[in-house]
Structure 1
Amino acid sequence: MLTKRQKQILDFIRGYIKENSYAPTLEEIAENFGLSSIGTVAEHLENLEAKGYLKREDNQPRSIDLLEGEPMVQVPLLGLISAGQPMEAIEDKETIAVLEEKLPKSGNFFALKVTGNSMVDENINDGDIVLVKEQKTAENGQRVVALVDNYNTTLKKFYREKGYVRLQPANKGLEPVIIKRDREFDIQGIVIDVIKTGAAPKPIRYEHVRKDKKLQVNKIICGDVLEVMRELPDDSIHLAITSPPYNVGKDYDNHDDKMEYQEYINWLYEVWKETKRVLIPGGRFALNIAPTGIRDFVPLHHDFTNQMRNLGMKFRTEIIWYKQTMLKRTAWGSFKSPSNPHIVPSWEYILVFSKDKDKLDGNPKMADITREEFMKFSDGFWQIQPETKRKGHPAPFPEELIYRLTKYYSYKGNVVLDMFGGTGTVAVIAARTGRDFIHIDVSKQYCEVAQERLDKEIRRQKLL
């Protein structure tokens, strides 16, 4: 015979499964009944199992299977799937109890929890669970789980086009992912059902400004990077140069440099989307980034390269910026021993991309790079000391680095953007070399320093 609480819990589980088509977790049961300990819930479930009302898989959060009513099937819950940008494949050893009627009669199946909002027009929302049938092929228009570059998984609608595969979001504000033949691509399965887990959020829409909106140049703009960039016209920037915060806990004036990693790269993915939008066809993006960590190595340059390629940007080259800082190193690991030695990166990368095509159109008379500079800069190993005059910023660009990128990748009169402008090195070099610029930074302090540097540069030019 059941106690009053056991019956209440059993009725809750029945109702939950009927509404959601899968079983609740212990935490959800505890929350429903206002219990502070899931140990109490586990004890009730053990009693219900002993009395023959249900069975559970050990240490599996959604594996409650009722022994009455409609039959349930245990399906592996393999982790998260991005309905936004591709993300790292995850395999958590969990299962979820699903109504047997949800699954076809034959095949292998797994479940994934959705993150992101790129499939909202298909009523697949952040937090929902998709049931997937394993298979390696798909028809055009089917919703697939795909593995891209042997590293990233994503949920999109599949279309095979001439010479490439298009992974199409179901959100009118987002662009498709283009997979050309030189990229690794593998279909993991097709979505057969969606298990709703809550109210659908409002779809995210990205409203772009009109192309004929006038671009305001040669301004130090203090504001949120995404808010400001979304006000810039389409196809208006010739060269973007930036170095984002590396998310390693540096002391920036007005930025949290220790975000959760997925939150961090999702945020920057939105910035890269806006960067592509504002670049003209043939416009270049020079992205300075470095791998971070010694013990816990984080390959930011790989993740950002994958993001840019997923956006359809052309990866042109990478420049090695050798910072010549080895004399300052203190972390050796197992010194003079192969036990656990550390490699300390004395370099950073400049990743160079272009939008839509290789060639940047322009007046040849406005190319101001000298023969000697061209020969020197075309060698992709740049030995440049880091900036020592920090002016309150933890990681300012050295002027020589920005000078080389500006002269090598743009014409005089072009517009150069730095969306993480800091203390204004890109703006100063643009002004010095006859380019227009747009400087964006969220920090009022850094913007004030940038304006002071720019004013000083303008005064210097007037004396020439």
Structure 2
Amino acid sequence: MDNLKKDYDTIVDVIVTSPPYNIGKKYHTYNDNKDRNDYLDWLFQVAKKSFAILKIDGSFFLNVGSITSDPLLPFQVAGKFILAGFVLQNTIHWIKSVSIEKEDVGIRNSSCSDGISVGHFRPINSNRFLTNLHEYIFHFTKSGDKLLDKLSIGVPYQDKTNINRWKSVTMDKRDRGNVWFISYPTIQQSRPHPATFPEKLPRLCISLHGYHKKNFLVYDPFMGIGNTALACLELGINYIGTEIDKDYIEYANEMILKKLQKDSK
């Protein structure tokens, strides 16, 4: 990131990333069990350097979670970003798994007979804590008044009568809101990275911010296996990523190459 600041001073439009959560995940080259104050101070430095390279109307989307026995950690991390100068404009809840009983589904003439249960999660062996099925996406800006392209990630109305009822509604699409259900894709082999978000997550964040394909730049300081890069390729925009693990870099480059080859056919 230090080298990035020299070359890209206040030129990054969007930063979207997910740093290590300091919860003891097994990374190849990183200790995910730092002293709490050291961890927070480290992310404070990340926040300051990110603030320096972000455009005045840029957005920083920070995905961070915690273990159920330590629910305050994400908010302490957010506090460090605010201390670095950022304004917390939106708090988005990333839901990774959800169950909705039949009587609560609410879809007219629904063929749903047993309710809905979707998504993936790892249950915890505890009689005190509930399994954590969500993480936070903190949306930081420099001023707190960044205009967003909310309908670019909008969803259809369930009740179509709302389209005619409200004068402000001109299409069958509404604000997605700040609760996003994004599941992990099912894979048959072991995951190449112990903690990474799906490609859809950065794609939604970038689209919400609003983008244009000329001279638009996205940065992920914790690129991991390259899902932010894949999202940018899908959107046709430029990206930069940094990563310290050579294995993750190699895997990311493989996925990027496959994406480029697929799109060129």
Which TM-score band applies after superposition, normalised by the shorter structure? 0.7 to 0.9
1:391–1:423 Cα contact (<8 Å) kept: no
Match of 1:236 in 2: 11
1:310 matched residue in structure 2: 83
Per the TM alignment, residue 348 of structure 1 is displaced from its structure 2 partner at its CA by 0.4
* Aligned equivalent of 2:125, options 331, 340, 358: 331
2:188 is the alignment partner of 1:394: no
- Do structure 1's residue 378 and structure 2's residue 176 form an aligned pair? yes
Partner of 2:160: none
Match of 2:110 in 1: none
SS in 1 for 2:92: strand
Q: In the alignment, is the contact (CA less than 8 A) between 1:282 and 1:357 conserved in 2? A: no
- Deviation string 1:327-365 (CA, Å, 9 cap, x unpaired) is 7424231xxxxxxx323321100000112352369xx9x
Correspondence for 1:86 = none
What secondary structure does 1:441 align onto?
A: coil
More strand per residue: 1
Q: Map 1:244-283 to 2 at 5 A.
A: 244-283=19-58
1:281–1:360 CA contact under 8 A, matched in 2: no
Measure, in 2, the Cα distance between the counterparts of 1:232 and 1:356: 24
Aligned to 2:218: 416
CA distance in 1, matches of 2:126, 2:200: 30
Distance 2:53 2:173 in 1: 30
8 A contact 2:151–2:175 mirrored in 1:
no
SS at match of 2:48: helix
1 CA distance for matches of 2:231 and 2:223? Answer: 12
8 Å CA contact retained: 1:415, 1:438: yes
Contact 2:93–2:134 (Cα < 8 Å) also in 1? yes
Alpha-carbon spacing, 1:388–1:421, altered in 2? closer, same or farther (3 Å): farther
Could you tell me which of 303, 322, 344 is aligned with 2:131?
Answer: 344
**Runs (5+) with no aligned partner, structure 2:** 98-118, 157-171
Alpha-carbon spacing, 1:281–1:227, altered in 2? closer, same or farther (3 Å): closer
TM (norm. structure 1) is: 0.45
The DSSP-based 3-state class of the residue aligned with 1:231 is helix
Structure 1 residues 370 and 244, CA gap change in structure 2 (3 angstroms): closer
Partner of residue 72, structure 2 = 299
| Structure 2 counterpart of 1:118 | none
Q: 2:65 aligns with which of 290, 307, 324?
A: 290
Kept in 2, the 8 Å contact 1:368–1:407? The answer is no
Q: CA deviation at 1:377?
A: 5.9
Distance (Å, rounded) in 2 between the aligned partners of 1:270 and 1:405: 23
How far has the Cα of 1:369 moved from its partner?
A: 2.9
Question: What is the Cα deviation at residue 233 of structure 1?
Answer: 2.3
Shift of residue 458, structure 1, vs aligned partner: 1.1
Which residue of the partner structure matches residue 369 of structure 1?
152
Distance 2:174 2:46 in 1: 31
Aligned length: 225
The one-letter code matched in structure 2 to 1:351 is: F
Listed as ranges, the matches of 1:51-130 within 5 Å are: none
- Residue 251 of structure 1: SS of its match in structure 2? coil
Measured after TM superposition, the shift of residue 386 of structure 1 is 2.8
CA distance in 2, matches of 1:248, 1:461: 37
Query: Which residue among 176, 185, 203 is the counterpart of 1:403?
Result: 203
Sort the Cα spacing of 1:395 and 1:328 in 2 relative to 1 into closer, same or farther, 3 A. Answer: closer
Shift of 1:421: 0.3
> Are 1:433 and 2:232 matched, yes or no?
no
Change over 3 Å in CA distance of 1:453–1:368 after alignment to 2: farther
- The Cα offsets for residues 133-174 of structure 1, whole Å up to 9 and x where unpaired, read as xxxxxxxxxxxxxxxxxxxxxxxxxxxxxxxxxxxxxxxxxx
Contact 1:387 1:397 in 2 (8 A): no
What SS does the aligned partner of 2:177 have? coil
Task: Please state whether the residue corresponding to 2:239 is helix, strand or coil.
Answer: strand
**What CA deviation, in whole Å up to 9, does each residue of 1:357-401 have, x standing for no partner?**
52369xx9xx99376489466321111113544651111211222
**Between 260-269 and 228-237, the greater mean CA deviation after superposition:** 228-237
Q: Secondary structure at the match of 2:26?
A: coil
Superposition CA RMSD, Å: 2.6
Alpha carbons of structure 1 residues 370 and 240: separation in structure 2 relative to 1, 3 Å? closer
Question: TM-score scaled to structure 2, two decimals?
Answer: 0.76
- Partner letter of residue 394 of structure 1? P
* Cα contact 2:151–2:174 (8 A) shared by 1: no
- Tell me the alpha carbon deviations over residues 78-119 of structure 1, each in whole angstroms, 9 at most, x when there is no partner: xxxxxxxxxxxxxxxxxxxxxxxxxxxxxxxxxxxxxxxxxx
Higher RCO (Cα < 8 Å, 6 or more apart): 2
Task: Map 1:96-245 onto structure 2 (within 5 A).
Answer: 226-245=1-20
1:376–1:242 Cα change, 3 Å: farther
C-alpha separation in 1, matches of 2:209 and 2:26: 31
C-alpha separation between the residues in 2 aligned to 1:228 and 1:303? 27
